[in-house]
Amino acid sequence: MQPLAERMRPTSLDTYVGQQHLVGPGAVLRRAIETGRLPSFILWGPPGVGKTTLARIIATQLEVPFYMLSAINSGVKDVRETIEKAKRGKFFQSASPILFIDEIHRFSKSQQDSLLGAVEAGTVTLIGATTENPSFEVIPALLSRAQVYVLEPLGREELVSMVDRALAEDEYLSEMGVVVEDYDTLLRFSGGDGRRLYNVLELVTHEAAGGQHVVLTTDYITARVQENLTRYDKTGEQHYDIASAMIKSIRGSDPNGAVYWLARMVEGGEDLKFIARRLVISASEDIGLANPNALLMATTAAQAAQLVGYPEARIILSQAAIYLATSPKSNSSYKAIGAAQQAIRKTGTLPVPLHLRNAPTKLMKQLDYGKDYNYSHDNPGNFRAQEYLPDELAGTAFFEPQDNNATEVKIAERMRQLWGEKYGGG
């Protein structure tokens, strides 16, 4: 028997729950579907809000072939083979087949690169699904060829309607004597995830399969779901959700939250290298210059944890997580590289100013390579103000020291002394 979530999967926009800002009457995606002019796009939203379902409905409504790949277990070869199938199955002037890629954020750059030609040529209409910000996880070349549609979490009314519809229309549940007395507990255990909601509903109605009348009270639901709460899926969405919770706790300076979510991963048998990598990233992204020792701590902890292995590694990881959570925070380095990358996307690959170019040959010197460059160490204080950016970006300050920690306050003061107005004063 199919799981309830599959049995209740909507097959048309009229039965699709949520996302009315995209598929409601007159909404942007619905208009594109109705006119048949569908762009490639990426659906960005939390788990269980209907990304896969929406892609399937679109393919059905447009009557085009539907190819689905999961980024977890598909490589470049799979992508190319699927594109070739789509090419053979496309009739002259017919709408392009849909290639749906679930969890596209897990595709490597080379895997994403392999999609570019087919998307640009219209061989396929790409629909990607991701729980992560596409700006960081999808390569710019692919992102520029696709729209991004944000899917919102399902609201209480929408989730309740899903429960009621399943109890009324599902071929099995409709024959059971099920009365819902406490919707809120059902929704709490689902976490706003529609698919998980159906899994919970299926779990708590299992006993009614034998004809037993069941009333879903708070205690009844809790008793039957409780045993599943500590389960941890090392390859699914929860794997990333719990890691995200740990990082957000560190970022929020809460050592209790950090060590709790760390413990959830440890208890679930998570690969310690995965945890260690997350801590190293957080040390630079969230703490950075506010406490440069944080990166050293995280890196050393990663090495030490791998050296000793479980179970002792949990102590090392705990020490690192608590240290990071209790450290002052700064994302100035993270923002600086992001701002610089954004500038490059806008201005392109600007030429290196002549005075910054290397001049190892006579010809290069004749072409003024290196001319007027002032060697910093030949000046008092080992500093001489000169422009290090291309002319089009001259005077731009990508790095902005933050004032919430002593280290960057000192950095800011030094930058003001050296650079004056660029860093907020003379």
Reported as a single tens digit per residue, the pLDDT across 341-391 is 889 888 888 899 999 999 888 888 888 899 999 999 999 989 989 999 998
Q: Which CATH number fits domain 156-228: 2.60.120, 1.10.8, 1.10.1760, 3.30.160?
A: 1.10.8
Helix (H, G, I), strand (E, B) or coil at 125: strand
Where do the CATH 1.20.272.10 domains begin and end in the chain? 237-326
Q: Which CATH number fits domain 18-150: 3.90.550.10, 2.30.30.240, 1.10.10.2840, 3.40.50.300?
A: 3.40.50.300
The single-letter code of the amino acid at 275 is I
Where do the CATH 3.40.50.300 domains begin and end in the chain? 18-150
Strand ranges across the sheet with 98-102? 66-70, 98-102, 125-130, 41-44, 147-150
Report the alpha-carbon distance of residue 325 to residue 287 in Å, rounded.
9
Report the alpha-carbon distance of residue 124 to residue 98 in Å, rounded.
6
Report the alpha-carbon distance of residue 302 to residue 308 in Å, rounded.
10
Tokens representing residue 176 in the block: 């059971």
Give residue 237's pLDDT.
55
- Checking if the pLDDT of 160 tops 70, the result is yes
* 111 closest CA partner among 95, 96, 99, 93: 99
Contact (CB, 8 A) for 381 and 419 = no
- 426 confidence band (pLDDT: 50, 70, 90): very low
- Checking if the pLDDT of 128 tops 80, the result is yes
- Checking if the pLDDT of 1 tops 80, the result is no
Does a cis peptide bond (omega within 30 degrees of 0) precede residue 311? yes
- Checking if the pLDDT of 208 tops 60, the result is no
The pTM of this model reads: 0.53
Please give the CATH number for the structural domain made up of 237-326: 1.20.272.10
- 329 confidence band (pLDDT: 50, 70, 90): very high
Give residue 93's pLDDT.
56
Report the alpha-carbon distance of residue 221 to residue 224 in Å, rounded.
5
Give residue 228's pLDDT.
53
Q: What's the whole-number average pLDDT of the chain?
A: 84
- Checking if the pLDDT of 232 tops 60, the result is no
